[in-house]
Amino acid sequence: MASSSSPSFVAEPVAQAQTLQGAVEEIVAQHSLEESVKMMKLQVDTLVAQQSAEAVNAQVSRALLGEGTSSESGEWNHELLILRFSRSPQEFFDALLGSVELAPWLHALDTAGFAEVVAGLRPSIILVRPEHVRPLVEAIHLQKMTPRASDVFVEPELEGVIKNIVDSLPKKFKVYPRGSLSVPLGLATWDLF
């Protein structure tokens, strides 16, 4: 009897060792891939930072020399608002993104192809004219802002609409206005690329 159980006794650890070896090789390959991706990202970030610094310097120089206005928006001193709220439960997003009053703004952004850009700034909500999306993203980058989930980036004329929608939420959600900040597009309206 001892001889019949011996092959399975040996085969099972060998199979486990082979499985473990395969798992280790897979982990090593995954780690190597992750390291390669990190190195590539670092190289890209370095190139982008260099180009961004050069572009910002050129942009500031043009602005200081008074070389006109943005070719994209035609506005030099346009400002957007960041409306800040106390909380951002799902009902907050549902009310704003499902609003009939805001549907044309959301549709315009989607039609202009900015759905992915706007989604990239989520969880914040962006409700601006399509021609202000790129300058807004650049302004966020230049000012080193970190958008919060309870932030709503809007054109100034939408401030009252947004506040009315949020005020209509049931009080149990405890969403209250916490003020607003101005986001000057100024230098960010220059076309960098």
Residues 1-54 have pLDDT tens digits of 555 555 666 677 777 877 878 777 777 666 665 665 566 566 656 656 666 566
Same domain, 57 and 124: no
Distance CA 82, CA 78 (A): 14
Are residues 19 and 89 part of one domain?
no
User: Looking at the domain assignment, is residue 72 inside a domain?
Assistant: no
Same domain, 53 and 86: no
pLDDT at 74: 47
Q: Are residues 151 and 95 in the same domain?
A: yes
Report pLDDT for 76.
54
pTM of structure: 0.57
Q: Is the pLDDT of residue 75 over 90?
A: no
Q: Are residues 51 and 146 in the same domain?
A: no
Range of the domain at 184: 79-189
Tell me the pLDDT of the chain averaged across its residues: 76
Can you tell me whether residue 136 is helix, strand or coil?
helix
Residue 114 banded pLDDT, cuts 50, 70, 90: confident
Does 52 share its domain with 87? no
Domain count, the chain: 2
Judgement on whether residues 40 and 129 belong to the same structural domain of the protein: no
Instruction: Say whether both 116 and 142 belong to one domain.
Output: yes
Q: Does some domain include residue 12?
A: yes
Q: Are 127 and 38 found together in one domain?
A: no
Of these ranges, 62-71, 133-142, 169-178, the one predicted with the greatest mean pLDDT is 169-178
pLDDT at 176: 92
Same domain assignment for residues 162 and 85: yes
Between CA 124 and CA 175 the distance in angstroms is 15
**Which of 41, 67, 93 is where one domain is finished?**
67
Buried residues in 66-94 as b, exposed as e (16+ CB within 10 A): eeeebeebeebebebbbbebeebeeebee
Please give the sequence-ordered ranges of beta strands (E in DSSP) within the chain, or none if there are none.
79-85, 125-127, 151-154, 177-184
148 with 169, same domain?
yes
125 and 97 in contact (C-beta within 8 Å)? yes
Torsion over CA: 102, 127, 72, 67 (sign):
positive
Residues 177 and 93 in one domain: yes
Give the least confident one: 6-15, 61-70, 134-143, 150-159. Answer: 61-70
Is the Cβ–Cβ distance between 124 and 149 less than 8 Å? Answer: yes
Beta bridge partners of 179: none
Among 44, 67, 90, the domain-final residue is 67
Does 18 map to a domain? Answer: yes
For residue 66, name the pLDDT band (cuts at 50, 70, 90). Answer: very low
